[in-house]
Amino acid sequence: MTVRWLEGPASQGTTWGQPWPRGTVARDTPFALADGTPLQSWVTATWPDGSVKWSAHAIGQRDEPRDTYEVVPGRSPEAPSTPVTVTPSGDGFEVRTGPVTWTLRRPHLVSSIEYGQTTVVRDVRPVSIRDGQHTTAEVERITVEQDGPVRAVVRLEGRHGDWLPFSVRLYFYAGATDVRVVHTFVWDGDPDRDFLAGLGLSADVVMRDLPHDRHIRLAGPEGFLTEAVRGLTGLRRDPGQQARADQVGGRPVGDIPNPEVSGRLHLIPQWNDYTLDQNSADGFLLRKRTAPGHAWVTIPSGTRSPGYGYVGGATGGGLGFGLRDFWRLHPTRLDIRGAATDVATATVWLWSPSAPAMDLRFWHDGMGQDTFAEQLEGLEITYEDYEPGFGTPYGIARTHELTLRVHDATPSHDALAEHARLLDSPGLLAAAPETLLAAKVFGTWGLPDPRHRDIEERLNFLVDYYLRQREQRRWYGFWDYGDVMHTYDPDRHTWRYDVGGYAWDNSELSPDLWLWYQYLRTGRADVFRLAEAMTRHTGEVDVYHLGRWKGLGSRHNVQHWGCSCKQLRISNAIYRRFHYYLTADERTGDLLDELSVPEETFVAIDPLRKVRTDVYVPDPHALSVSLGTDWGSLAAAWLTRWERHGDERARDRLLGTMADIGALPHGFLTGEARLDLRTGRFDTQLDTISVSHLSAVFGLPEVIAELLDLDLGLPEFERAWLDYCRLYLAPPERQEAEVGQALRGISLVQAHSRLAAYAAARTGDAELADLAWRKFRLDEGDQLNSNPLQREPQWTLTRVGGAGVLMPVDEAPFVSTNDASQYGLAAIQLLALVPR
């Protein structure tokens, strides 16, 4: 199976995932690369028959990477000439990647880094600031997750004093001089009194060279600030052209031939401290000073820094350091302190101490909405589902990706530029869309259809529009980057960032799914990066990772955690599966593992508590579970747990509840069922009909398509699903003839056209296929909730400028994220299911 680079060849160590058709690769099959490049492989998912469904692969650092690689099952891989090794050392571990030795020992992440026999870096540690107090976090646990020979992964966990639990994974590759750092922290403070003023990663760099052979590099939009601790350029007396060239180039200056300079070196100021401060997506400030207690001197600043820097000597070695998505995740900062002393400290600030302290208090005072009735009234005007005490950030998380790269000498500008590029766009190998499709993974989708140029153009229009909107609307920032807005306000020519439930989208109606499926079918790198950023955001910020609502997510709101609707539909495993299987990212795997027993979240809160007409208190033996958003999320979690870990409990609950849905008198049309946590089974006696327009727009059709493709031997379940798909958009008289009543609550017609298409494809019903296309194109009979995308004769952008807008923008007022997501999913599935 051939894989290619997503964005061009990369020299750094790389990990990727790829699928295999069912039954073609046995569980214990070795893998190799056809060209003999050393390879490390492991299985990330299996099919029900035990064969490999997804495998993960890693290659080490390469000076001349190939454009493509062919993974060959059944052949033993070549061993690297210099393998990465992990060896116990005292109360920690020693990791060797070839030229570099990394010693991992508590309480720090890394106690020392040696290049050859020289210690270059000491004491890599997380740091934070609260109430003016600087805290060095302490590592409490070290776990080796992989130990080579091509790739090693070490996980370190701890806390910042009495709060902020964190987890850091260090990724090492054979032959590499860098380590990838994936840092996750969980916010567990009191938003009314705890204000985080700084969060970062610091490392001490040993400075051995003379001050004029010590170098500072800080990245700007195109190049680097190029400075020495003691500058030799621009002086009144000339040290000589060679000396000047060597210093600017990062080479040892050696003897200075001009005695008028060499005799006065002690009179040239030494610049001890540097700071690059990215407090917005549009600009950074640069400054330096000679020592604490003296004024900062400003340096010409710029717009967007890649967030990469270097401090070290021409011969004594140094450290490259940086943060991926640096300007996108503002406020961020790079610090170098003590460069004129024996030990300099480099700090990558994930939250800049220059910015106001992080304020996570709720955004309004409740406006008197103390009862369910008042809260439902509020929902009617601002679409915000408010409830006192529910808009808490306690338990949300954020993940950042950093890099540390050790050098034995100051690198060239070109080398630094390449390192900064790899930080921002890490190399990733990917299977082609045709290969992914042939493996029959991820349910229903197909390649772009040239016969439907109009639909394909609209699918591309929508993705390109959101890419453009992210840039023009500056959807960036520490807590915001990766999400998109929910609904547009054409009167103000802006998205409704300040209107209750119309602001941040938080996976509402599955934009995650739409973007990932559009990537699968096109292979577009920009779509992958858009979906990747959304997965990083929605899986961390929109979901609780500890506390009362652990495992649940928050519905859309002005603040990501603001809505009182805490549901599994937001923490849904189906939104994370794509990123995990395509990249083998362990942190995304953690998010999936947090849903190992997803059914237990229904004890914490009743999602329907505000609108129930019956009396209900969550009962572990009879938990109310909707058969749409709830069961779809449970099924995705159980399926993922089963195929990743072979979890029999998850398998049994998945298959058992599928059988129970098939046994209900009205199947999915029942609307909800009661789950017994002890047995993991539904009560099948409920004989009612209840349909929700939301049931099938949070991944339910997609996960069921995967399940039915597995051919699990549950025909009654398939019948129940096909009945739902057939009848949802059927004429009322047909609904009444089949189930005794016309279905109420039918809306989101275009979105549900893909259900009719699915039933048509499974049954060969040509009339149903016609209905699907008609409902997709015309959105019949549902003007209140119908999709404005289909009422718009031409999809065009309108340029809006002048005094009435903050900045010139390109708008398409007819686009909302709900409609875009469901249009995209419906279009992709109709083209795949009932092409014409």
Tokens of 501: 């439930």
DSSP letter, residue 756: H
pLDDT given for residue 829 in this prediction: 98
In terms of domains, do 73 and 90 share one? no
- What is the C-alpha to C-alpha distance for residues 747 and 783, in angstroms, rounded to an integer? 9
Tell me, yes or no, whether 627 lies in a domain: yes
Residue 125 and residue 44 share a domain: no
Rounded Cα gap, residues 481 and 325, in angstroms: 9
> Domain range holding 317?
85-188+196-230+269-358+395-410
Check residue 436 and give its pLDDT.
Answer: 98
Instruction: Say how many residues make up the chain.
Output: 836
Amino acid at 520: L
**pLDDT value at position 262?**
96
Q: What is the pTM of this model?
A: 0.97
CA 640 to chain CA mean position, Å: 18
Same domain, yes or no: 310 and 347: yes
DSSP 28: T
Tell whether 171 and 72 lie within a shared domain.
no
Domain termination site, one of 694, 727, 746: 746
pLDDT at 780: 62
| CA gap 361, 302 in Å, rounded | 32
Residue 797 lies in a domain: no
Residue 47 · residue 93 · CB < 8 Å: no
Residue burial 64-74, b: 16+ Cβ < 10 Å; e: rest: ebeeebebebe
By the 10 Å C-beta count (0-12 exposed, 13-18 middle, 19+ buried), 695 is classed as: buried
Please give the structure tokens belonging to residue 517: 């499926």
What's the CA gap between 186 and 164, in Å, rounded? Answer: 6
Structure tokens at 10: 């990369």
Count of domains forming the chain:
3
Copy the structure tokens of residue 453: 């140029």
- C-alpha–C-alpha distance, residues 319 and 309, integer Å: 8
Q: Which tokens belong to 46? A: 């299996």
* Both structure tokens of 441: 């993974």
3-state DSSP assignment of residue 708: helix
User: How large is the angle between the packed helices 453-472 and 511-522, nearest 10 degrees?
Assistant: 120
Judge residue 63's burial from the number of C-beta atoms within 10 Å of its C-beta, 0-12 exposed, 13-18 middle, 19 or more buried: exposed
CA angle 655, 657, 660 (to 5 degrees): 110
Task: Please state, in angstroms and rounded to a whole number, the distance separating the CA atoms of residues 806 and 335.
Answer: 33
**What strand order describes the sheet that includes 672-676?**
623-626, 672-676, 681-682
In a domain, 146, yes or no: yes
Q: Can you tell me the distance from the alpha carbon of 817 to that of 822, in angstroms, rounded to the nearest whole number?
A: 8
Residue 692 and residue 655 share a domain: yes
- Domain-located, residue 364: no
The answer to whether residues 667 and 735 touch, using CB atoms and an 8 Å cutoff, is no
pLDDT of residue 792: 79
At 223, which amino acid appears? G
Q: Dihedral angle at the C-alpha atoms of 366, 368, 373, 377, nearest 10 degrees?
A: -70
Give pLDDT, residue 779. Answer: 60
* Same domain for 220 and 150: yes
Statement to judge: residues 110 and 184 lie in one domain? yes
Q: Are residues 646 and 661 in the same domain?
A: yes
pLDDT in the model for residue 786: 63
**pLDDT tens-digit profile of 445-469?**
999 999 999 999 999 999 999 999 9
| Rounded Cα distance, 785 and 792, in Å | 15
* Final residue before a domain boundary, out of 746, 773, 788: 746
What is the residue whose two structure tokens read 């699903």? 721
* Residue 341 forms part of a structural domain: yes
Whether 765 is in a domain gets the answer no
Rounded to an integer, what distance in angstroms lies between the CA atom of residue 338 and that of residue 187? 31
Q: Are residues 275 and 353 in the same domain?
A: yes
CATH number of the domain enclosing 213 = 2.70.98.60
Q: Let me know whether 21 and 135 are in one domain.
A: no
Cα separation, 756 vs 767, whole angstroms: 10
Residue 380 placed within a domain? no
Q: At 332, list the tokens.
A: 């961020």
In the three-class reduction of DSSP (H, G, I as helix; E, B as strand; rest coil), residue 822 is classed as helix
Strands (E), 542-699: 553-554, 566-567, 623-626, 672-676, 681-682
Inter-residue contact 423 to 321 (CB < 8 Å): no
Measure the CA–CA gap between 242 and 605, rounded to whole angstroms: 72
Contact present, 27 and 14 (Cβ < 8 Å): no
Given this model, what pLDDT does residue 778 score? 78
Q: Both 215 and 327 in a single domain?
A: yes
Contact predicate 201/347, CB 8 Å: yes
Query: What are the helix (H) ranges across 47-192?
Result: none
Tally of CA atoms within 13 A in the half-sphere of 27 that contains its CB: 10
- Give the C-alpha separation, 53 to 57, whole Å: 13
Residues 150, 55 share a domain? no
How far apart, in whole angstroms, are the C-alpha atoms of residue 458 and residue 515?
A: 14
| Those residues with Cβ within 8 angstroms of residue 713's Cβ, 6 or more apart along the chain or in another chain | none
321 in any annotated domain:
yes
Cα–Cα distance for residue pair 705/444, rounded to 1 Å: 6
The neighbouring-strand residues paired with 2 are 70
Task: Give the end of a domain, one of 711, 729, 746.
Answer: 746
Q: Is the peptide bond before 331 cis (omega within 30 degrees of 0)?
A: yes
Mean pLDDT per 10-residue section of the chain, whose length is 836 residues: 96 97 98 98 98 98 95 97 95 95 97 97 98 95 97 98 97 98 98 97 98 98 97 97 97 96 97 98 98 96 97 97 98 98 98 98 97 95 97 98 98 97 96 98 97 96 98 98 98 98 98 98 98 98 97 98 97 98 98 97 89 85 96 98 98 98 98 96 96 97 98 98 98 96 93 97 97 86 64 90 96 96 98 96
- DSSP letters for 259-292: HHHHTTGGGS----EEEEEE-SSS-EEEEEESST
Buried b (16+ CB within 10 A) or exposed e, 235-254: eeeebeeebbebbbebbbbe
Question: What's residue 90's pLDDT?
Answer: 87
